[in-house]
Amino acid sequence: MEMAETGIPVRVILDEKEMPEAWYNICADLPVPLPPPLHPATKEPCGPEDLAPLFPMALIEQEVSAERFIEIPEEVKAVYRLFRPTPLQRAYRLEKALDTPARIFYKNEGLSPAGSHKPNTAIAQAYFNKVEGVKRLTTETGAGQWGSALALGCKLFGLELDVFMVKVSYHQKPYRRTLMETWGANVYASPTEMTEAGRAVLKDDPESPGSLGIAISEAVEVAMKREDTKYSLGSVLNHVCLHQTVIGLEAKKQMEKIGEYPDVIIGCVGGGSNFSGILFPFMADKFAGKKLKAIAVEPVSCPTLTRGKYEYDFGDQAETTPLIKMYTLGHNFIPSPIHAGGLRYHGDAPILSLLVKEGYIEAVAYPQTEVFDAGVKFAQAEGFVVAPETAHAVKCVIDEAIKCRESGESKTILFNLSGHGLLDLAGYQEFLDGKLTD
Amino acid sequence: MEMAETGIPVRVILDEKEMPEAWYNICADLPVPLPPPLHPATKEPCGPEDLAPLFPMALIEQEVSAERFIEIPEEVKAVYRLFRPTPLQRAYRLEKALDTPARIFYKNEGLSPAGSHKPNTAIAQAYFNKVEGVKRLTTETGAGQWGSALALGCKLFGLELDVFMVKVSYHQKPYRRTLMETWGANVYASPTEMTEAGRAVLKDDPESPGSLGIAISEAVEVAMKREDTKYSLGSVLNHVCLHQTVIGLEAKKQMEKIGEYPDVIIGCVGGGSNFSGILFPFMADKFAGKKLKAIAVEPVSCPTLTRGKYEYDFGDQAETTPLIKMYTLGHNFIPSPIHAGGLRYHGDAPILSLLVKEGYIEAVAYPQTEVFDAGVKFAQAEGFVVAPETAHAVKCVIDEAIKCRESGESKTILFNLSGHGLLDLAGYQEFLDGKLTD
């Protein structure tokens, strides 16, 4: 190997003062109307009153807002400052390893205390609930990224938290549970005996490994039944994607500083929030005519955007959530237990789904052995070991960079390093030992 | 809990251009001479030729240099830029939780790809070896922090690496091994059958859990026997402490930016490199008369500085290293298997030992239950989950801050967050479950 090139800038850093003052609400600029969520019983569009048992009014307002920018409260920015602004990094070493003329940039969201982008919305949601007098939140978590982020958010704003963690992950990823408990959350292996939804599943299948859909049903049920308790979702919904735009807003500012603009933006997609977060502030330019390729990356074992149907479906197993128009594999779909637990959701964010349907976003799917191979390549070039979810994006970045090598095009590629893989090393070990299957 | 205070700066960020151009060599300013290392056979001071089989000449020169500043090569800075400069963070929330008038700052070295301060020297050592044509390094590792950092350094400069990992950690911390292997290193559970030193231990005790001292003997033996191979040590030595001063040099610049200067500097001490790194650039001012309290923190189960003797001792079990003058518990000392594996070394850096002996540095020791309690308090206030090693420093910071509350003094406390605890969560779980013992 050659000596590293010297004197090259690697990270573009923003000062705290340059952190965005407002989130970007893409709904203000959508070229076609977003189909509204429907009430599960009446099938009529949901009103704020339908959502009020689950969410505080501020988040319901954000969910349906048409304002282009929504101010980030000072209290939320104060917590963001623990880890934001995050660096924009240029992957020089990866470029060199791939011998590509492409310029590859990534936003490093893995540097947050919870290790992913999830705190961007967890902190905001905890704050807005706190302001409205909520004492306790409930939520579900798959791999544990979301649960740990919300545990952090709740601890910092003094809320109690009950996390329903998909049982297979609860046992496979004990360290995520530890993280949640370190931040003071109560963690339950879902399905539990605590809820009607959980008991119904266990009656049919006492050995059920659980699923995100089931865990959502449990968390929603508990929130509905308690006066002082609301529910929190870590992806899919408009207000979640909204909070994540802090990533793209920072990235845009950072790229402007060095005179760059992405030709391609890539992100992995489970529920869609991290990709929405980095993409949407740039997508506004695409609506205005700017050339931009956006690629959503998912696992072949949960191919929502590439093989799902665009239709109204429930967000959960027990059919308790509103119906939302999205790409879906069906709300009873249970994907194989791949390591990228955060990508194992049957549906996708309605906004992201609409943009895929309308042709603004492309989607690709990869099997997990290729994904881990890409993760190892990235770690060996750039140092950072990424989450299996993020490695999906990396695989696509590598493919795009190789296309550039073949075509000679010097494209600028931007992707979101949505999380580190330090609590997913069992998957890396399986891959290194040649034992990983697709 | 109250809402967070708003509008307050939390992180002091340096631009890449503000990264130090040179490491600070405290040997140029020591108030008393540093006793030289002695040859293990002749007991005469070691010359460069004695160290040449183990280390490249550039590092040997640094080991004995009297130059105040030693330039950081461009190639090393290029790699540092992946994660440096690191932020200086103010622990407002911890201050508030403790109701203390003290101002608490920490340097966050846990944001490096390997998750600790160790890459600061690993990268430098890999570079200087590469320049002199070395093809392969050997090293030992306890908890795996050092091994993973050197694996990263070696991968980025294209060197092979053999890591002898203390057997008890190899089995207790499989994820550290995965990390090393992801970065391409070969990892062996020490004692092994590969070396005379290892075979000798296994002959006496086939079930030996290993120790750092034994692993060092193995790594040194392999390096001595192979022409293209040298040995690398992650702490203790002068050149290692030198490379770590990048931490303190940055911290000093960052504190200057906000008009602060520490009254107290705190760090955990295993071999002493992270504490040396943050402390030494400030210690120069103390030599010149400035008031500054420096506190080294160690575990009661390996109380080198608080209960060891200041004398010449071997660095390893098999008595193959030079004799160095340091606080030591004896080179056959095997501490109990506490979670802070990085603090389980029988000796300490000679420079640090001298400064303790001469009264420039105080030392305290804590049992691990109090240490984990401090770690949880920090995580719940500041978000970041620190390594058990770092939690020793945090415990001392909390004690000092509480003293300030009692005395009403508004002291400025600086400590080094030497690493995150994401691969040490088993210890946190034991603590949370009430199962941790001292």
Distance from CA of B434 to the nearest CA of A (A): 13
Assign B438 to helix, strand or coil: coil
Name residues 90-119 of chain B within 8 A of A (Cβ).
93, 111-115
- Asked whether the beta carbons of residue A182 and residue B432 sit closer than 8 angstroms, the reply is yes
Name residues 16-35 of chain A within 8 A of B (Cβ).
16
Q: Taking CB atoms and an 8 Å cutoff, what residues of chain A touch B132?
A: none
- Asked whether the beta carbons of residue B13 and residue A15 sit closer than 8 angstroms, the reply is yes
Q: Is A428 on the interface with B (CB under 8 A)?
A: yes
- For chain B, what percent of residues have pLDDT higher than 90? 87
Interval A420-426 mean pLDDT: 94
Instruction: Report the residue of A16, A74, A178, A258 to disrupt the B interface, i.e. the one with the largest count of B CBs within 10 Å.
Output: A178
Start-end of H helices in B258-387: 273-287, 304-307, 350-357, 368-382
d(CA B436, CA A310): 52
pLDDT exceeds 60 at position A3:
no
d(CA A176, CA A168): 12
Q: Taking CB atoms and an 8 Å cutoff, what residues of chain B touch A74?
A: 6-7
pLDDT exceeds 60 at position A4:
no
Q: Taking CB atoms and an 8 Å cutoff, what residues of chain A touch B157?
A: 1, 3-4
pLDDT in tens, A189-228: 999 999 999 999 999 999 998 888 889 999 999 999 999 9
Going by pLDDT thresholds of 50, 70 and 90, the confidence category of residue B136 is very high
Name residues 134-173 of chain B within 8 A of A (Cβ).
152, 155-158
Q: Which CATH fold topology does B2-19+83-116+246-432 show?
A: Rossmann fold (3.40.50)
**Positive or negative: CA dihedral B247, B248, B253, B255:** positive
Q: By mean pLDDT, which of A343-352, B235-244, B280-289, B338-347 is the weakest?
A: B338-347
d(CA A328, CA A316): 11
Q: Which residue in the set B112, B182, B384 is minimally distant from A376, CB to CB?
A: B182
Helix H or strand E segment including B309? strand B309-314
- Largest alpha-carbon pair distance within chain A? 66
For residue B257, the number of C-alpha atoms closer than 13 Å in the C-beta half-sphere is 16
Q: What are the Cα distances from residue A143, in Å, to A165, A190, A341, B178?
A: 8, 12, 5, 19
pLDDT at residue B334, rounded to an integer: 82
User: What tokens were used for B238?
Assistant: 């002068």
Assign A352 to helix, strand or coil: helix
pLDDT at residue B6, rounded to an integer: 60
Q: What phi-psi label fits residue B305: left (phi over 0), alpha (psi between -120 and 50 degrees) or beta?
A: alpha
d(CA B312, CA A100): 54
Q: What angle do CA A45, A46, A48 make, to 5 degrees?
A: 140
User: What tokens were used for A167?
Assistant: 């049982």
d(CA A10, CA B133): 27
Helix B273-287 to helix B238-257 angle (10° resolution) is 60
- Asked whether the beta carbons of residue A379 and residue B130 sit closer than 8 angstroms, the reply is no
Assign A386 to helix, strand or coil: strand
Start-end of H helices in B185-323: 196-204, 212-225, 238-257, 273-287, 304-307
Instruction: Report the residue of A5, A6, A106, A183 to disrupt the B interface, i.e. the one with the largest count of B CBs within 10 Å.
Output: A6
d(CA A342, CA A302): 11
pLDDT at residue B336, rounded to an integer: 83
Tell me, yes or no, if the pTM score tops 0.80.
Answer: yes
What is the value of ipTM here, to two decimals? Answer: 0.96
- Asked whether the beta carbons of residue B422 and residue A175 sit closer than 8 angstroms, the reply is yes
Q: What are the Cα distances from residue A322, in Å, to A46, A304, A319, A333?
A: 7, 19, 8, 18
pLDDT in tens, B350-399: 999 999 999 999 999 999 999 999 999 999 999 999 999 999 999 999 99
- Asked whether the beta carbons of residue B432 and residue A178 sit closer than 8 angstroms, the reply is yes
| DSSP classification of residue B7 | S
Going by pLDDT thresholds of 50, 70 and 90, the confidence category of residue A328 is very high
Count of helices and strands (H, E) across chain B: 17, 15
Please give the residue that has the higher pLDDT: either B211 or B149: B149
pLDDT in tens, A8-36: 678 999 998 999 999 999 999 999 999 99
d(CA B79, CA A49): 54
pLDDT at residue B3, rounded to an integer: 43
Q: Which residue in the set A11, A16, A422 is minimally distant from B81, CB to CB?
A: A11
Instruction: Report the residue of A182, A390, A429 to disrupt the B interface, i.e. the one with the largest count of B CBs within 10 Å.
Output: A182
d(CA A165, CA A169): 7
| Single-letter residue type at B33 | P
Assign B139 to helix, strand or coil: strand
Assign A382 to helix, strand or coil: helix
The CATH number of A23-71+118-238 is which of 3.40.50.2300, 3.40.50.1100, 3.90.700.10, 3.40.470.10? Answer: 3.40.50.1100
pLDDT exceeds 70 at position B4:
no
Q: Where in chain A is the domain with CATH 3.40.50.1100?
A: 2-19+83-116+246-432, 23-71+118-238
- Asked whether the beta carbons of residue B182 and residue A157 sit closer than 8 angstroms, the reply is no
Name residues 302-331 of chain A within 8 A of B (Cβ).
none
Q: Which residue in the set A89, A379, A425 is minimally distant from B175, CB to CB?
A: A425
